[in-house]
Structure 1
Amino acid sequence: MVLFGSDRPVPLEYTYQFYKQIGGAESNVAIGLARLGHQVGWFSKLGKDPFGRFIEKFIRGEGVDTSRCIYTDQAPTAVFFKEKLNPKNINVYYYRKGSAASLLRADDLDEAYITSAKMLHLSGITPALSSSAKETVYRAIEMAKAKGVKVVFDPNIRLKLWSLEESKPVLLDLIRQADIVLPGVEEGQLITGEEDPEKIVDALRAHGQQIFVVKMGARGAYYDNGQEKGYVPVFKAEVVDPVGAGDGFAAGVISGLLRGWTMQEAVRLGNAVGAMVVGVSGDVEGLPYWHEVEQMLNNNGTRQDVIR
């Protein structure tokens, strides 16, 4: 989606000028992974309009392959507005009902493209957009699993899109099919009724080989891959804008796993990327490049020697 924000900490009704950015869970993760040095592809359906072209050009400009992105003249590209009164009081207003992305169909998928990947990252936002988008998610998982491609799933619960009653069975089913699951602790509580991260994982695990990483905000993260488990603390960070931190965290964890790092190392990398994201306003603007992350990790979690 196209994101419109204000550089003034006032309610939207008193905002008269907006700056244009992009935002979206899957595209955030794609850009995050590309900046960390990985080959990444992103697919979606965009409106054949200026906003759609802006999104595709921006993401492609970040080094992400957008060759499987589809344009349609049947619906517009979605937009949303961010109202940031202060770092702890941020409201987001979405305008995406009937958007181009909601017209995604399973027939839009390129099976050879998906099965050539090492991992397929999906979120719980897409199946909430429409019945055809939900079918597309299921079909993408089916394609990936048939060829041994690891499925990464972030529930990303958006109750503005669908109710908990409607979303819960779908999210549980997708979690059980995934190989790597990245829920927030609040999301885990909504789905399972449990508050403790360890109990959340026990309630969600469908088979022993699944990897779970529970995001706990300022308390860090908990991981359990069926063989080892543990807690990883956060990096100190000055919070300017927390939106997008979870997507940065996901990019860091996935990057660590692709590099063959241990679970603890991968989660620590996720925490580092998330900490860097919250220090910058915008969904993708704070996503770091690999050399910046290396410097932060080598400086024991401080960003003092990082030069942008």
Structure 2
Amino acid sequence: MDVITIGETMVLFTPETSGKMRYAKQFSMKFGGAESNVAIGLSRLGHDAGWISKVGNDEFGKAMTAFISGEGVDVSQVIVSADAATGVYFKEPRRADDVRVYYYRKGSAASTLTKEDLDEEYIAKAKYLHITGITPALSDSCAETIYEAIAIAKRHNVKIVFDPNLRKKLWSEEKARNTLLEIASKADIILPGVSEGKFMFGESDPVKLGSLFLEHGASTVVLKLGAEGAIYFTKDEQRTVPGFPVKQVVDPVGAGDGFAAGFISGLLDGLELNKAVKRANAVGAFVTMVNGDVEGLPERDEIESLINNSDEDVSR
């Protein structure tokens, strides 16, 4: 297995019309979750990815598991809960630059994950373990599960990729900050945004943030700058990699997950860091052009075409 992810995926309902959701009469149903988004993104780029989670014994859980499996992701470690339901969330596209998200996930099946649900042998076979700051926010048992997964990865020399993916609605700021900093200290690679870095360290200068994350324990830091691209930091190198211009952003949700998938894909292919970050920027740009969390994730030929013609606009 190339990469294993752990986290909750939910049923996503989006109004067929823009504006305030109170006026919506019809909704489309899709699926979305940061970790499964990354796994699907990696699968589309030709890598082996596995997703660890828990779903309800309901139609949503069955449909979700079938969908993710159909995208080529291994779902053998997904547990079906007899007692809790699959989580749900709504995406409200009020305007092109104002997309709001509402979660109905308290007490969901995934929030009942425990460290006993992990198979050490399964994680040990991976090259990378991808985790986010969302999963430990779901419950104390989920936090314990993430810490146990990290411990397993370290025992077996599995590289840990951490995307803070801050969700303030899920927990108190103090608990979020302490947990994110603790996980960051254990990660090999960190993929934060500037706002997340500011939340964690109280610093907004990108260069200072890169240094702070390195001092905190990571060996590689890739700081996301949105449309401007990203800056990566190691103890020996710092470099800005420009983003890809997009004429019209349709849906920005999921772009960070696409970025993570693109970057990890580059590492798996043995690319130099600057080229891995360039691939990450390209995948993130693709995601913003399509409504939905995973619908815009590109396949390898699309990314290679974009990168080879990087002087052209993504929306060509």
| TM-score (ref. length: structure 2) | 0.94
Task: Please say if 1:149 is aligned against 2:158.
Answer: yes
Instruction: Report the structure, 1 or 2, having the larger strand content.
Output: 2
Aligned to 2:60: 51
Distance of aligned partners of 1:110 and 1:206 in 2 relative to their CA distance in 1, 3 Å threshold: farther
8 Å Cα contact 1:184/1:214 also seen in 2: yes
Question: Which runs of 5 or more structure 1 residues have no equivalent in the other structure?
Answer: none
Task: Please say if 1:252 is aligned against 2:262.
Answer: yes
CA distance in 1, matches of 2:311, 2:258: 16
The 5 A counterparts of 1:1-308 are 1-206=10-215, 210-237=219-246, 238-300=248-310, 302=312
State the Cα deviation string for residues 52-98 of structure 1 (Å, max 9, x = none).
01110010000000011000011100000010022211110000000
State the Cα deviation string for residues 100-156 of structure 1 (Å, max 9, x = none).
010000000011000000000000000000000000000000001101000000001
8 Å Cα contact 1:201/1:224 also seen in 2: yes
The CA deviation at 1:205 is: 2.3
CA distance in 2, matches of 1:247, 1:302: 23
8 Å Cα contact 1:219/1:234 also seen in 2: yes
8 Å Cα contact 2:86/2:110 also seen in 1: yes
Paired AA for residue 275 in structure 2: E
Paired AA for residue 269 in structure 1: R
How many residues are treated as equivalent by the alignment?
Answer: 306
Which stretches of structure 1, 4 residues or more, deviate above 6 A after TM superposition? 303-306
8 Å Cα contact 1:74/1:100 also seen in 2: yes
Name the SS of the counterpart of 1:85 in structure 2.
strand
Distance of aligned partners of 1:82 and 1:128 in 2 relative to their CA distance in 1, 3 Å threshold: same
Paired AA for residue 239 in structure 1: V
Paired AA for residue 157 in structure 1: L
8 Å Cα contact 2:285/2:314 also seen in 1: no
Comparing 228-237 with 197-206, which one deviates more in the overlay? Answer: 197-206
Paired AA for residue 68 in structure 2: I
Distance of aligned partners of 1:14 and 1:305 in 2 relative to their CA distance in 1, 3 Å threshold: closer
| TM-score (ref. length: structure 1) | 0.97
CA distance in 2, matches of 1:243, 1:184: 14
Distance of aligned partners of 1:70 and 1:231 in 2 relative to their CA distance in 1, 3 Å threshold: same
Name the SS of the counterpart of 2:307 in structure 1.
helix
8 Å Cα contact 2:113/2:141 also seen in 1: yes
8 Å Cα contact 1:121/1:153 also seen in 2: yes
Distance of aligned partners of 1:301 and 1:131 in 2 relative to their CA distance in 1, 3 Å threshold: farther
Identity %: 54
State the Cα deviation string for residues 252-273 of structure 1 (Å, max 9, x = none).
0111111111111010000000
Paired AA for residue 38 in structure 1: H
Distance of aligned partners of 1:6 and 1:209 in 2 relative to their CA distance in 1, 3 Å threshold: closer
